Amino acid sequence: MEIHRLEKIWIAVSLLFIVGLIASIVYGVAGVGVGTVGDTGQQLDPSALDDTEFADPGGHWASEDHYVVHVVARQFLFQPGTQEPITVPANTTVTFYVTSPDVVHGFDVVGTQLNTMVIPGQVTEFTTEFDEPKTYGIVCHEYCGAGHQSMAGQLVVVP
Ligand code: CUA
């Protein structure tokens, strides 16, 4: 039996909608001068972060025009971020590497499209650029235990 033409159109529209939804989840894109959010697929032993770059998390210049930040998200703080802010330069390519030694956390830079899961044993990588000096809040948006609500920090973009 032939499918009514309108029905075909509606099926196409709903398929497009589903594909769009999936795409929007897979690719967190664009916003306040923000690039693509991705996952390196880089693995590490979550119980042995001390043997990695995450032993001394924080930011450093990888080259003259590329800044790199390592962040550990753990129950219930960001290192750096919570006790001291993450500081990054404006108008510079910044790559974040984020991991967790315990459970799944979130890393959400409030007011931007930077929003990613942080999974123990994996390194989440994303590269972005901030247009202007500004202070952003960071929150964990994945329930991670009793202190989840208080898991927050700051990201300071400096001139
Ligand atoms: Cu960490 Cu919620």
Residue-wise pLDDT tens digits, 41-68: 688 999 999 989 999 999 999 999 999 9
Q: Kindly report the protein residue whose alpha carbon is nearest to atom 1 of ligand 1.
A: 105
- Residue 15 maps to a domain: no
- Residue 3 maps to a domain: no
Q: Which structure tokens are listed for 74?
A: 């753990």
The model's pLDDT over 117-158, given as tens digits with 9 standing for 90+, comes to: 999 999 999 999 999 999 999 999 999 999 999 999 999 999
- Residue 17 maps to a domain: no
- Residue 141 maps to a domain: yes
Residue 152 CA, ligand 1 centroid: distance in Å: 8
CA angle, 62 then 101 then 34, to 5°: 45
- Residue 6 maps to a domain: no
**Per-residue confidence at 30, pLDDT binned at 50, 70, 90?**
very low
How many folded domains does the chain comprise? 1
Domain holding 118: CATH number?
2.60.40.420
Q: Which domain holds residue 46?
A: 31-158
d(CA 9, CA 76): 49
Give the residues surrounding ligand 1 with Cβ less than 6 Å away.
76, 105, 140, 142-144, 148, 151
- Residue 2 maps to a domain: no
- Residue 21 maps to a domain: no
Residue 140 CA, ligand 1 centroid: distance in Å: 4
Residue 110 CA, ligand 1 centroid: distance in Å: 15
